[in-house]
Amino acid sequence: DGSLRMEPTGVFSCKKCGAEVRFADKKALALGYCTACNRNCDFEEVIPFPPSRKIFVQNPLPILLEIDFNVLPEMIDFVKDRLVFRYEGEYYIYCLGIISTWKEQWFNTVPYFQFIGAIESGKTRALEIIKMLSYRGLLGPAVTPAALPRLIEKYHCNLLLDQAEVKLNTKTEMGQLLQGIFLAGYRRGQYYIIADPNDPDDVIIKDIYGFKALDSERLFSTALTSRSIIFSMKEAIPKKPIDDKEAMEKIRKLRSQLLWYRFMVKKPNPAANPLTGRTGEIFYPIITVARSLDKDVEEIIGFAKEKKKEFLEEMSGTETASILAYIQTKEYGIDEVEAVKIKEMAEELDLQTRHVGHILRNLSVKRKRTRDGMYVDLADSDTQDQLEYLYKK
């Protein structure tokens, strides 16, 4: 899968003698012969085979280019040339978050990154750069709902979700699965648990812990937002492309240094977390990585406190913004509709139907009633005028 192997793959434990046996490939495993006890046996996986295709960015050999090792300045320069953030400090946080994916074994919680903005604001590019530089970034996988938790657990990959406003639709099986993975996966020891389809009395437990990121045109529920560091993107043209020869050479060099960092840099001595609550949990990996690179953490602490303040201020208006964004998506999206059912909107936004109705009433958006419940009539001229006014606000 592109990673440098420091241990064998395809190792399985014999259920009869308990010996660990290495198989060359899946065909050899299918023969079921234990070379330790010389019997045909069943086996239990210890170390999996690598995936049949290279689904992660390939790694070069780890190299240390300077005695005073520090990958961070080079990574920040690389990102600044290829991605545009609103604020200078966001490059620092973004790069430290990427580096933290190489040391997830240090932490019990990990941050999520959310890139929120309009079309062509650089959201997808932010995910693409994470894929190139993170430990095992997996961008926009087209996989079945059953396969995704297995993939995360087996290969410890970092899920990167493009167009999350479409894929996190809780009315679909994949949307429900992704919601569960994002809500449970930020803390070690919180598992994704589903019923075993082959045994009604049993369950399947998957460890889906790990750094994740998504891009979207809107924020999601408070629960997901509180687990995330939000980057509000703006429309801009970066200085350089991310897929030319120069970029590929820099990526190889950076990944070489990051491999060295993963293998050789020790976790700094424990220190009191200067932040508390959920903010302290999601910023702890970033602070720890900065300390491991002998960087000052005051800038991070200030950034985290400012983000917390913004979060508390925005949450009061987030529900209203989410409702308007949902209606706008339905009105001008690929599948244009003439009516938005309030019950369906409430379910997708994780809000109470009555609460959505109160917000719409306060916004002076007319609601109409049918046998199936209340809805917003997008074909109504008065409703169109009011929505256009609210969109501009």
Q: What does the pLDDT look like over 129-184, one tens digit per residue?
A: 999 999 989 886 666 767 788 888 888 889 898 988 888 877 777 788 888 888 88
The two tokens of residue 246 are 């120069």
Between 120 and 143, the higher pLDDT residue: 120
Quick: pLDDT tens for 361-377: 878 888 999 888 899 99
Phi, psi dihedral angles at 88 (to 5 degrees): -60, -40
The two tokens of residue 105 are 């074994």
Determine contact, residues 368/375, Cβ cutoff 8 Å.
yes
Determine contact, residues 158/136, Cβ cutoff 8 Å.
yes
CATH 3.40.50 occupies which residues in the chain?
72-295
Q: How many helices (H) and strands (E) does the chain have?
A: 14, 15
Q: What is the CATH number of domain 317-392?
A: 1.10.10.10
Q: What is the pLDDT of residue 393?
A: 60
- For residues 272 and 260, what is the distance between their CA atoms, to the nearest angstrom? 27
Tally Cβ neighbours within 10 Å of residue 294: 10
Q: What percent of the chain has pLDDT over 70?
A: 88
CB under 8 Å to 324, separation ≥6 — which residues?
363, 387, 390, 391
The secondary element (H helix, E strand) that includes residue 253 is helix 245-264
Phi, psi dihedral angles at 10 (to 5 degrees): 65, 40
CB under 8 Å to 338, separation ≥6 — which residues?
377, 378, 379
CATH 1.10.10.10 occupies which residues in the chain?
317-392
- For residues 126 and 141, what is the distance between their CA atoms, to the nearest angstrom? 16
Is the pTM higher than 0.95? The answer reads no
- For residues 393 and 18, what is the distance between their CA atoms, to the nearest angstrom? 67
Q: What is the CATH number of domain 72-295?
A: 3.40.50
Q: What is the mean pLDDT of the chain?
A: 85
Which residue type, as a one-letter code, is found at position 206?
A: K
Q: How would DSSP label each residue in 70-109?
A: --HHHHHHHHHHH---SSTHHHHHHHHHHHHGGGGGG-SB
- Reported confidence tier of residue 120, pLDDT bands at 50, 70, 90: confident
For range 34-51, the mean pLDDT: 88
Which among 263, 244, 283 is positioned nearest to 89, based on CA atoms?
283
